[in-house]
Every structure is written in C-alpha cells, then in structure tokens.
Structure 1
Amino acid sequence: MRARSLSAMVCACVACGALIACTPSYDWRTIMNNDDGYEVTLPAKPHAEERKIQIAGQPMTMRMQTAEANDAVFAIGTVVLPSADPALQRAALDFLQQGLARNVNAQPVARATQIDLAVGGRVLGSEMEVKGQGGNQRESRTIHARFVAHGMHVYQVAIVSDKAPPSEQSDQFFSSFKLF
C-alpha cells in the first residue's frame, strides 16, 4: 500500500511533466511555504497535491509542490509527523528514500549532506541519486533527491527526469531549499 501511494505520487509528477514538456526554459521563482516551513526556488509555477500514506503503521499526509521544466519534475514533499520522535523521523526518511528508489527499481544508497536553515546554519540531511526504469512504459529515469527531518517535518526534495537537467539548474534548485 505504501509503495503504491508513493509510486503513484511520483508517477503523477512524471505524468505532469509529460503534459507540460513543451515548457521551453526555466522561469525561476522563489516560493515561501509557511505551512510546511521552507522556501525554495522552482523553475516554473508550482502545482500542489496531497496523498495519504502509512509510515510505521501510522496514517499521515504527504503534501507535494511540483514544477516542471525541460522534461524534469522538481518536487518538494513534506510529511508532518505527529511528534518529533527521532525513531519516527528515521522511519519516515527511510520510507521516502526506499519509495523513490523503488520507483526506478533501484536500491537507495544515501550519503550525508548539509541542508541550509533560512536563519543561518545547517542541519544534517542525506542525498541520493538513483537511475533505472520507471513509469508505465518502463522509461529510463534519474532521480536526484535530498532528505531531511526537522522537528515534526520530514522533507523530500527531488528532481525526476529522463535525463539529468544541467548541473547549474540542479544546483540552483537544491541550494535554494531552506528550512524555517
């Protein structure tokens, strides 16, 4: 059930990307998400959606903001936890990492990275890049994602594409993500 929900969400993001594939370029804009506690620069006007998921046997909601540019989907997913319990944070991070990797039939291998805070400073997060076959047509997909838990929120910041966007576009997206 969990894998289907996350898989359906990523597939929906990819499908949205296919519908807007004619977007000719990046039109960067800063988005402040006060409800979920972050700011980010997205390459197009964002779309929002929400899905019910189960993490560690508990029903939760995952909210997504996505934007499409040049055949890539840029997405920020936020799960609000019932508490800031470190075990629950870890379970949510594992759930998100494994779900994204499973969408392209890959194994998640994450490495440590630092995520900026809007007020200065950083918190420890993780980063992974997986490649494989995904979607109904089993197309080649690359997913580059960062994950972080901060208080009662767990975040997934990802780019899903059939080929990686130029590094300066990826760098702009990932470096612009800041937590409140």
Structure 2
Amino acid sequence: MAGALVLGVTLSACSPTFDWRTIMNNDNGYTVDLPAKPGNDQRAVQIDGKPMQMAMQTAEAGDAVFAVGTVMLPDDSDATQRAVLDYLRTGLARNVGAAPDARAVQIPLAAGGKVLGLEMRLSGEAGSKHETRTVYARLVARGRHVYQAAIIAAKPLQPEQVDQFFSSFQLY
C-alpha cells in the first residue's frame, strides 16, 4: 500500500539535523524543500483494480521521514483522481490505526494560483512493534498525477519544520 511505502522507511535515531535543500522534480511536476539528500524509489500499485506506478522521493532527518509520492494515473478523470486520493488517505490512516479524517487545504502552483487538496494529521501505532507515529500529510490531484506529501515522525515535530516542508511543496 502507498502509505506503507512511506512508513516502511526506517526512522533513524540520530539527532535532528535539518539541512534543507530545494528539490525540483521535473519528471513528476513539483518542487519541495527536503531536510536531507533524497532517495528515490518506484513501485507498482493496484488502485481500484488498475495497475499504476508510484514514484517516491524520501529524506530522513532526526526521527522523521519526509516524502513525496507521485502516482501516475492512466487518465485524468475525476473518478480516477478521487479513487487514488481515497486510496492514499485511507492507507495513511490505516497504517497508524486512525480514522482517515482530512480537511480541505490550498496547494500552491509554482506559476501562481492554487489547487484544492486534502490535509491530514494523524497519530497512532504503526508497524509490528506498535510504535507511536505522527503523520502529517497533504494529498492533491492535478492532471494525470496524484501527490502525497507526507512526514512520518516518531514524535511531533516543531511547527517550523512542518511548515518548511509543506509551504515549499508546489506543483508545476
């Protein structure tokens, strides 16, 4: 599951060091500030009975993983976008045993303007060791992509770290 991809990244135990850098992902159409050099991964996922690809960029800082996942859609229909948004929203919530509550949020476009997305903040137990995790996430669909910008943290982060990540996330 997409949410499991983010939670599957091992959280390091080193002291929190945030070395912010702007990452421009021209292939998937976004820019974001990450707190360390990112790693990249890509996986096949089945969503609503359709095979899709999900690309991930992840960076670790302290006890947190910062990630942007991009699901490439077979079409840009509203129904496909909604199905993928629902899949990601429920997957993140299920990974920490929480309700998939989300609120509307505006996601900025690099060229100006904004698009409507979803914002989540969840806490619960994750993994086989049932360790407490806090998940901060924003989900948004644009054209033939659905994006999941997320932070998975062992403990709540300082608001300025969360703000740095989310305020820098812009779509092309």
Equivalent residue, structure 2, for 1:56: 48
SS in 2 for 1:145: strand
The total of aligned residue pairs comes to 172
Sort the Cα spacing of 1:113 and 1:7 in 2 relative to 1 into closer, same or farther, 3 A: closer
Equivalent residue, structure 1, for 2:128: 136
What root-mean-square deviation, in Å, do the aligned CA atoms of Structure 1 and Structure 2 show?
1.1
Equivalent residue, structure 1, for 2:163: 171
Structure 2: how far apart are the matches of 1:138 and 1:106? 13
Does the CA-based 8 Å contact 1:104-1:133 persist in structure 2? yes
Sort the Cα spacing of 1:26 and 1:62 in 2 relative to 1 into closer, same or farther, 3 A: same
Structure ranking higher in helix proportion: 1
SS in 1 for 2:36: coil
Residues 12-71 of structure 1 show CA distances to partners (whole Å, capped at 9, x for unaligned) of 22x1x23xx325410000000000000000000001111111111101111110001110
Equivalent residues in 2 for 1:92-103 (5 A)?
Answer: 92-103=84-95
Sort the Cα spacing of 1:7 and 1:156 in 2 relative to 1 into closer, same or farther, 3 A: closer
Shift of 1:74: 0.5
Equivalent residue, structure 1, for 2:25: 33
One-letter amino acid of the counterpart of residue 135, structure 2: I
Shift of 1:11: 3.1
Equivalent residue, structure 1, for 2:118: 126
Equivalent residue, structure 2, for 1:11: 7
Structure 2: how far apart are the matches of 1:23 and 1:155? 29
SS in 2 for 1:82: coil
Equivalent residue, structure 1, for 2:103: 111
Does the CA-based 8 Å contact 2:4-2:95 persist in structure 1? no
One-letter amino acid of the counterpart of residue 162, structure 2: S
Q: 1:42 aligns with which of 18, 30, 34?
A: 34
Residues 122-179 of structure 1 show CA distances to partners (whole Å, capped at 9, x for unaligned) of 0000101111000121100110100000000000000001112110010000000000
Does the CA-based 8 Å contact 1:128-1:144 persist in structure 2? yes
One-letter amino acid of the counterpart of residue 53, structure 2: T
Structure 2: how far apart are the matches of 1:118 and 1:175? 11
One-letter amino acid of the counterpart of residue 29, structure 1: R
Structure 1: how far apart are the matches of 2:115 and 2:4? 30
Equivalent residues in 2 for 1:81-92 (5 A)?
Answer: 81-92=73-84
**TM-score, structure 1 length as denominator?**
0.92
One-letter amino acid of the counterpart of residue 115, structure 2: V
**TM-score, structure 2 length as denominator?**
0.96
Equivalent residue, structure 2, for 1:74: 66
Q: Percent identity?
A: 59
Structure 1: how far apart are the matches of 2:159 and 2:42? 29
